[in-house]
Amino acid sequence: MEIIIEKGWKKELNQEFYDPYFINLIDYLKLEYISQEIYPPLNLVFDAFNKCPFNETKIVILGQDPYHEVNQAHGLCFSVPDGVAIPPSLRNIFKELQNDLGLPMPKSGNLVRWAEQGVLLLNATLTVRAKEAGSHQNKGWETFTDKVIETLSKQQNNLVFVLWGAYAQKKQVLIDAKKHLILTSVHPSPLSAHRGFFNNHHFSTINNYLVAHQKSAIEW
pLDDT tens sequence across 108-167:
999 999 999 999 999 999 999 999 999 999 999 999 999 999 999 999 999 999 999 999
CA separation, residue 192 to residues 50, 95, 109 (Å) = 31, 14, 20
State residue 86's pLDDT score.
98
Averaged confidence pLDDT in the chain: 97
Query: Model confidence over 17-49: pLDDT tens digits?
Result: 999 999 999 999 999 999 999 999 999 999 999
State residue 81's pLDDT score.
98
pTM of the model: 0.97
Q: Is residue 1's pLDDT more than 80?
A: no
The one catalytic residue among 65, 82, 146, 176 = 65
Helices (H), 78-189: 88-101, 112-115, 141-155, 166-169
Question: What does the alpha-carbon distance between residue 102 and residue 125 come to, in Å, rounded to a whole number?
Answer: 32
- Compute and round to an integer the Cα radius of gyration of the chain: 17
Is residue 100 part of the annotated active site? The answer reads no
State residue 2's pLDDT score.
78
Question: What does the alpha-carbon distance between residue 5 and residue 204 come to, in Å, rounded to a whole number?
Answer: 31
